[in-house]
């Protein structure tokens, strides 16, 4: 590590930016309400975007990426085989919030909304008696939150916690179309990303202005400020702002907070810059996938290291957030859920998550539930998925578990036998029309020890279809495709998957 | 009073021509990049949103055109004793040269053009690589500005040529301004 900054130094620099209410009252830890009537507790769902379970030591990773999560998970319920239901933000987040699979909610296209029927079938709708609050850095997650906003008491505007004031002006000016207006503004003014912008002159002025405003903070982020394109932010600001707001809220509340890190670009802070450089960590070498590019092992290795260093930054902020919740007493009344919308790949010639290669690092995400009053850890090894979170939280808070949900109540709150042997699905169908039968997609089916991958109709694939089978209990790195050596299992699972597809396609014929 | 002050230096028609000449490269470049972006935008969102991005882009280009025009008008006040037409032609020449270099700078990124290996090696070994780089860029750019300006000042033919060019550009830009109008309507609809 180059240099360690203490918090005081960091905030001193961060205060150059008028971020308002977050920094002024850092030391505020009010005595919060100790108990709530009945089963009702607060719920905080904290989503770190593109946070792969593969990169956490509690799930077996070889680098110490999450010292705080490791420490805190000793008094939490840790789900070791938790899957997302979509491999990128839109479907993964929509499944988490609606409790239904992507082929049901239909938000499987990039930046898509769910089908109108699911606009009011969300976790926010279930908790009508709670104060419901949400924030996200992620534009695609924000598209969904806006669609659900009729059931959200307080949807914090996305630009609230972004650093760039000009983007905020655009978002304010075009409030009913801020997403597309912001995309266009970014393409017009941001030359930093691609070296080109619609604007020839004004872009230079805007870039210079932004650079001047963030010069001091930039020194703390050697790989650039966190955030995509022109939408930069500090994770410290987000966790501070969320904490500040939660500490003032009437209880009970439900908070959904979807923070962009460790999503690419992996812009860790100076404190963790080069933390893993030269640590001799060797990732397992895996063959280049049909969706991968050859000869990019070195690039992927570098990217993995940068990703891991970015996770350190997330972990630090999570630890700080948790400690403040705990010391304020808020955790005594609050379910805290730490999870992600999808994972991230750095193997087989693939970097990122916009891929049809649905390997474990992409589809397996952390799920850690901090139960009020729990002081001992618990490990759950059953297969679970994002759609289970909504029914579980409803059940635990004495709310009616909605009939529409396709998830189940998680163990240990319901017997593990209830979910053993069931099917876990993930759908990626970015080329498929939103309201047409699924004919171009990659689908994952996990059942018992097996994981079936079925790719069909993809323009990026030479064959019409491809089937792969892995035994993820005995071969968690997915090195041996069993589709040829265990054809019976593959055929049975495929038949089951095709039957399911037929069923979900029925309404769209 | 301000209007009188401006009309002492510029004719009304000249100002219109100058504005349209400013708007031309800015709109042209926006359109080129919008057409380049439209397929991935459609893939990632949908056609209506892609049209939305293009519409905002055109309006931003229009606003930028107004700003650049105002800067040029102010710049025109420091040009001594020329008649309005000559002043307009000269300012148009400057904006076209500057915009061309702006486009070239971005095209280098788009086409992924980098310095040859020997030049990079040379810069690496020099004590002040950044200074060398700026000096090199200045050496390339300066003649492309000085030469046309010199010709413009010395030759009446060059002035006439510039005048013809600006008239043709102005006509074409009127067409681009129609896109702006359509873009504005689309933005209004999207924000209803």
Q: Judge whether A317 lies within some domain.
A: yes
Residue B140 sits at φ, ψ, to 5 deg, of: -80, -45
| A191 shares contact with chain B (CB less than 8 Å) | yes
A468, β-bridge pairs: A453
| B57 shares contact with chain A (CB less than 8 Å) | yes
Tokens 């420490």 — which residue? A71
Q: Judge whether A81 lies within some domain.
A: yes
- A202 CB neighbours in chain B (<8 A) are 60, 63-64, 67
* pLDDT at residue B115 in the model: 83
Give the gyration radius of chain B's Cα atoms: 20
* pLDDT at residue B2 in the model: 61
Q: Among A29-38, A158-167, A217-226, B152-161, which is the least confidently predicted range?
A: A29-38
- B68 CB neighbours in chain A (<8 A) are 201
- A201 CB neighbours in chain B (<8 A) are 26, 64, 68, 98, 102
The SS3 of residue B108 is helix
| A354 shares contact with chain B (CB less than 8 Å) | no
Range of the structural domain that residue A49 is part of: 42-163+222-423
Confidence of residue A18 (pLDDT cuts 50, 70, 90): very low
Is residue A13 predicted with pLDDT exceeding 80?
no
Is residue B117 predicted with pLDDT exceeding 70?
yes
Local structure of residue A364 (DSSP, 8 states):
B
Select from A184, A190, A195, A209 the residue whose CB has the most chain B CBs within 10 Å, as the one to mutate to test that interface: A184
Q: Do B26 and A195 touch (CB under 8 A)?
A: no
For B67, name the nearest residue in chain A, comparing CA atoms only: A202
Mean pLDDT of A208-215: 84
Residue A453 sits at φ, ψ, to 5 deg, of: -115, 125
Q: Do A184 and B56 touch (CB under 8 A)?
A: yes
* pLDDT at residue A215 in the model: 86
| B175 shares contact with chain A (CB less than 8 Å) | no
Q: Chain-wide mean pLDDT for chain B?
A: 89
Alpha helices in A25-88 (DSSP H): 67-72
pLDDT digit string, tens, across residues B155-165:
888 889 998 99
pLDDT digit string, tens, across residues A379-425:
999 999 999 999 999 999 999 999 999 999 999 999 877 788 899 99
The CATH number given to whatever domain includes residue A339 is 3.40.720.10
Is residue A5 predicted with pLDDT exceeding 60?
no
pLDDT digit string, tens, across residues A133-148:
999 999 999 999 999 9
* b/e per residue A400-438 (b: at least 16 CB within 10 A): ebbeebbbbbbbeeeeeeebeeeebbbbbbbbbeeeebb
| A111 shares contact with chain B (CB less than 8 Å) | yes
* pLDDT at residue A74 in the model: 97
Q: Judge whether A245 lies within some domain.
A: yes
Range of the structural domain that residue B92 is part of: 2-190
Select from A112, A200, A205 the residue whose CB has the most chain B CBs within 10 Å, as the one to mutate to test that interface: A200
The DSSP element (H or E) to which A385 belongs, if any, is: strand A378-385
| A196 shares contact with chain B (CB less than 8 Å) | yes
Q: Chain-wide mean pLDDT for chain A?
A: 90
pLDDT digit string, tens, across residues A80-136:
999 999 999 999 999 999 999 999 999 999 999 999 999 999 999 999 999 999 999
* pLDDT at residue B153 in the model: 86
Q: Do A188 and B103 touch (CB under 8 A)?
A: no
Domain count, chain B: 1
Q: How far apart are CA A197 and CA B56, in angstroms?
A: 13
**Which residue did the predictor score with more confidence, A50 or B149?**
A50
pLDDT digit string, tens, across residues B72-104:
999 988 887 788 888 899 999 999 999 999 999
Mean pLDDT of A22-31: 38
What percent of chain A lies above the pLDDT cut of 70?
92
* pLDDT at residue A158 in the model: 84
Q: Judge whether A205 lies within some domain.
A: no
Domain count, chain A: 1
Q: Do A184 and B109 touch (CB under 8 A)?
A: no
Q: Do B191 and A175 touch (CB under 8 A)?
A: yes
Nearest-5° Cα angle at A399, A36 to A126 = 105
Predicted TM-score (pTM) of the model is 0.76
* pLDDT at residue A17 in the model: 36
Tell me if the bond preceding A319 is cis, omega within 30° of 0: no
Of A177, A187, A194, the CB nearest to B57: A187
Alpha helices in A47-177 (DSSP H): 67-72, 89-98, 102-105, 123-126, 139-147, 165-173
Mean pLDDT of A278-302: 94
| B34 shares contact with chain A (CB less than 8 Å) | yes
Residues 6+ apart with CB under 8 A from B58: B27, B30, B31, B34, B179, B180, B182, B183
Q: Among A206-210, A288-292, A372-376, B3-7, which is the least confidently predicted range?
A: B3-7
User: In the structure encoding, which two tokens stand for residue A364, read together?
Assistant: 């397996």
| B32 shares contact with chain A (CB less than 8 Å) | no
Q: How far apart are CA A146 and CA A303, in angstroms?
A: 33
Q: How far is B156 from chain A (nearest CA, A)?
A: 30
Select from A192, A194, A196 the residue whose CB has the most chain B CBs within 10 Å, as the one to mutate to test that interface: A196
State the burial class of residue B32 (Cβ atoms within 10 Å of its Cβ: 0-12, 13-18, 19+).
middle
* pLDDT at residue A195 in the model: 83
Mean pLDDT of A341-363: 97
| A459 shares contact with chain B (CB less than 8 Å) | no
Of B68, B99, B109, the CB nearest to A195: B109
Residues 6+ apart with CB under 8 A from B7: none
Is residue B36 predicted with pLDDT exceeding 80?
yes
The SS3 of residue A259 is strand
Residue B58 sits at φ, ψ, to 5 deg, of: -65, -40
| B192 shares contact with chain A (CB less than 8 Å) | yes
Local structure of residue A26 (DSSP, 8 states):
T
Q: How far apart are CA A500 and CA B11, in angstroms?
A: 74
Of A111, A184, A200, the CB nearest to B44: A111
| B16 shares contact with chain A (CB less than 8 Å) | no
ipTM at complex level: 0.91
Of B45, B57, B191, the CB nearest to A198: B57
Confidence of residue B54 (pLDDT cuts 50, 70, 90): very high
For A143, name the nearest residue in chain B, comparing CA atoms only: B45
User: Checking DSSP bridges between strand A231-232 and strand A227-228, what pairing results, if any?
Assistant: antiparallel
Residue pairs between chains A and B whose CB atoms are closer than 8 Å: 91
Local structure of residue A369 (DSSP, 8 states):
E
Q: How far apart are CA B166 and CA B116, in angstroms?
A: 37
């Amino acid at each position: 590590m180059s240099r360690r900054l203490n918090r005081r130094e960091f905030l001193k620099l961060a205060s150059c930016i008028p971020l308002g209410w977050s920094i002024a009252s850092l030391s505020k830890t009010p005595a919060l309400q100790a108990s709530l009537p009945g089963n009702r507790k607060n719920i905080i769902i904290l989503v770190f975007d593109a946070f792969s379970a593969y990169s956490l030591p509690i799930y077996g990773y070889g680098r110490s990426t999450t010292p705080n999560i490791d420490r805190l998970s000793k008094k939490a319920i840790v789900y070791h085989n938790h899957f997302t239901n979509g491999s990128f933000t839109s479907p993964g987040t929509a499944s988490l919030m609606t409790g239904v699979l992507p082929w049901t909610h239909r938000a499987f296209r990039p930046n898509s909304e769910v089908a109108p029927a699911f606009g009011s079938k969300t976790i926010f709708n279930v908790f009508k008696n709670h104060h419901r609050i949400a924030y996200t850095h992620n534009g695609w997650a924000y598209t969904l939150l806006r669609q659900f906003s009729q059931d959200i008491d307080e949807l914090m505007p996305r630009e609230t916690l972004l650093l760039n004031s000009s983007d905020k002006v655009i978002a304010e000016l075009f409030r009913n179309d801020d997403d597309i207006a912001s995309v266009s503004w970014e393409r017009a003014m941001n030359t930093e990303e691609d070296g080109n912008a619609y604007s020839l002159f004004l872009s230079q002025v805007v870039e210079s202005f932004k650079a001047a405003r963030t010069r001091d903070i930039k020194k703390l982020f050697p790989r650039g400020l966190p955030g995509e394109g022109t939408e930069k932010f500090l994770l410290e600001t987000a966790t501070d702002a969320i904490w500040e707001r939660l500490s003032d809220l009437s209880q009970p509340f439900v908070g959904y907070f979807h923070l962009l890190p460790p999503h690419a670009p992996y812009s860790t802070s100076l404190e963790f810059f080069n933390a893993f450089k030269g640590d001799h960590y060797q990732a397992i070498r895996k063959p280049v996938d049909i969706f991968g590019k050859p000869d990019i092992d070195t690039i992927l290795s570098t990217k993995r290291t940068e990703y891991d260093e970015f996770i350190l930054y997330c972990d630090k902020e999570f630890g700080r957030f948790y400690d403040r919740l705990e010391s304020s007493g808020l955790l005594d009344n609050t379910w805290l859920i730490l999870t992600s919308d999808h994972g991230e790949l750095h193997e087989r010639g693939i970097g990122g998550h916009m891929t049809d290669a649905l390997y474990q690092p992409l589809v397996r995400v952390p799920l850690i539930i901090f139960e009020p009053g729990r002081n001992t850890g618990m490990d759950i090894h059953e297969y679970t998925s994002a759609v289970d979170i909504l029914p579980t939280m409803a059940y635990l808070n004495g709310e009616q578990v909605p009939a529409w949900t396709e998830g189940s109540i998680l163990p240990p709150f319901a017997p593990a036998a209830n979910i053993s042997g069931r099917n876990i699905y993930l759908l990626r169908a970015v080329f498929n029309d939103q309201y047409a039968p699924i004919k171009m997609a990659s689908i994952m089916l996990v059942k018992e020890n097996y994981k079936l991958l079925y790719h069909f109709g993809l323009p990026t694939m030479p064959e019409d279809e491809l089937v792969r089978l892995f035994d993820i209990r005995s071969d968690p790195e997915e090195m041996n495709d069993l589709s040829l050596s265990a054809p019976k299992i593959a055929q049975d699972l495929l038949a089951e998957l095709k039957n399911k597809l037929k069923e979900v396609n029925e309404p769209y014929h | 009073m301000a209007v009188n002050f401006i009309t002492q230096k510029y004719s009304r028609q000249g100002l219109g021509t100058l504005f349209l000449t400013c708007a031309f490269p800015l709109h042209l470049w926006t359109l080129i990049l919008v057409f380049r972006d439209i397929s991935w935008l459609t893939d990632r969102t949908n056609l209506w949103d892609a049209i939305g991005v293009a519409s905002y882009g055109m309006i931003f280009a229009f606003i930028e055109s107004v700003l650049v025009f105002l800067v040029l008008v102010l710049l025109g006040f420091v040009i001594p004793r020329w008649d309005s037409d000559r002043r307009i032609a000269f300012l148009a020449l400057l904006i076209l040269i500057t915009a061309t270099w702006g486009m070239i700078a971005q095209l280098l990124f788009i086409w992924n053009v980098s310095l040859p290996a020997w030049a990079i090696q040379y810069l690496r070994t020099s004590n002040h690589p950044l200074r060398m780089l700026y000096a090199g860029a200045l050496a390339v750019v300066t003649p492309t500005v000085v030469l046309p300006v010199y010709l413009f000042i010395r030759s009446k033919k060059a002035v006439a040529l510039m005048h013809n060019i600006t008239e043709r550009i102005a006509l074409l830009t009127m067409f681009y301004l129609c896109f702006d109008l359509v873009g504005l309507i689309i933005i209004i609809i999207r924000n209803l």
